[in-house]
């Protein structure tokens, strides 16, 4: 049995919710609205992750100094880091755990929109929601996929610029960090491998993520040089 099959009960519930919305709205809009509702429900986790990320950034200079001070002494370093986070009433994992909790929700959404079901037989601008771009015929269908990929690329560019600003503001370099901003365009490539319905989900959730991060980190300092780029 596939690991994803364990999600089938949750996928069934999600299917019922989207189907109910599709009684009132076009199915494509029902997918968008359902995705927005799920992301809205997960917003408290995103806020917790943002707080954890801000704490890590604030403590980064002290962590760097402790690493320098206790270089080659892992036990003393660990004790010092534990004391630092205890004094700050924070955890180095505070920003990571909320994001890990979201993975099952996203897995359910992915399975819903990539597993054959009646929702994928509906259309948007005449294109079946279950259609892959490799099976698209004619300029009309290709245009719909083109608009989707263009919108994903625009959202990816916004994420790319924010990632560059975040890296420029970081006090310590991240291994492989120069390539990290370009991962923002990964959703465009991924969308080319999944049906149109999953592409709409990707566009909605990545746009939400980009806007949400911009809002939650709106008070972060931005280097003038990068801001003007």
Determine the Cα–Cα distance for residues 159 and 65; give it in Å rounded to an integer.
30
- Residue carrying structure tokens 């294109």: 127
Least confident of 24-33, 128-137, 155-164: 155-164
Going from N- to C-terminal start, the domains of the chain cover 3-227
Q: How confident is the model at residue 191 (pLDDT cuts 50, 70, 90)?
A: very high
| Mean pLDDT (whole number) for 21-25 | 95
Q: Is the pLDDT of residue 224 over 50?
A: no
Question: What Cα–Cα distance (Å) separates residue 18 from each residue in 29, 33, 209?
Answer: 10, 9, 21
Q: How confident is the model at residue 229 (pLDDT cuts 50, 70, 90)?
A: very low
| Mean pLDDT (whole number) for 48-64 | 83
∠ CA 194-106-112 to the nearest 5 degrees? 55
Phi-psi region of 117 (alpha: psi -120 to 50; beta: other; left: phi over 0): beta
pLDDT, position 74: 86
- The proportion of the chain whose per-residue pLDDT surpasses 90, expressed as a percent, equals 45
Other CB atoms within 10 A of residue 159 CB: 22
Question: Which two tokens mark 197?
Answer: 């319905």
């Amino acid at each position: 049995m596939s690991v994803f099959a364990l999600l089938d009960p949750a996928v069934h519930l999600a299917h019922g919710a989207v189907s109910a919305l599709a009684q009132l709205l076009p199915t494509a809009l029902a997918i968008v609205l359902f995705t927005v509702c799920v992301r809205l429900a997960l917003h408290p986790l995103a806020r917790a992750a943002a707080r954890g990320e801000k704490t890590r950034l604030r403590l980064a200079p002290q962590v760097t100094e402790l690493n320098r001070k206790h270089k080659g002494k892992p036990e003393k370093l660990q004790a010092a880091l534990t004391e630092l986070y205890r004094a700050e009433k924070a955890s180095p994992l505070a920003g990571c755990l909320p994001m890990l909790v979201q993975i099952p929700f996203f897995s359910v959404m992915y399975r819903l929109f990539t597993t054959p079901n009646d929702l994928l037989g509906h259309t948007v601008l005449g294109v079946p929601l279950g259609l892959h771009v490799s099976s698209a015929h004619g300029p009309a269908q290709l245009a719909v996929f083109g608009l989707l990929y263009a919108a994903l690329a625009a959202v990816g560019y916004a994420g790319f610029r924010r990632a560059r600003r975040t890296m420029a503001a970081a006090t310590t370099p991240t291994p492989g960090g120069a390539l990290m901003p370009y991962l923002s365009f990964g959703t465009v490539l991924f969308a080319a491998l999944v049906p149109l319905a999953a592409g709409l989900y990707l566009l909605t959730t990545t746009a939400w993520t980009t806007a949400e991060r911009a809002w939650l980190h709106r008070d972060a300092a931005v280097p003038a040089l990068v801001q003007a780029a």
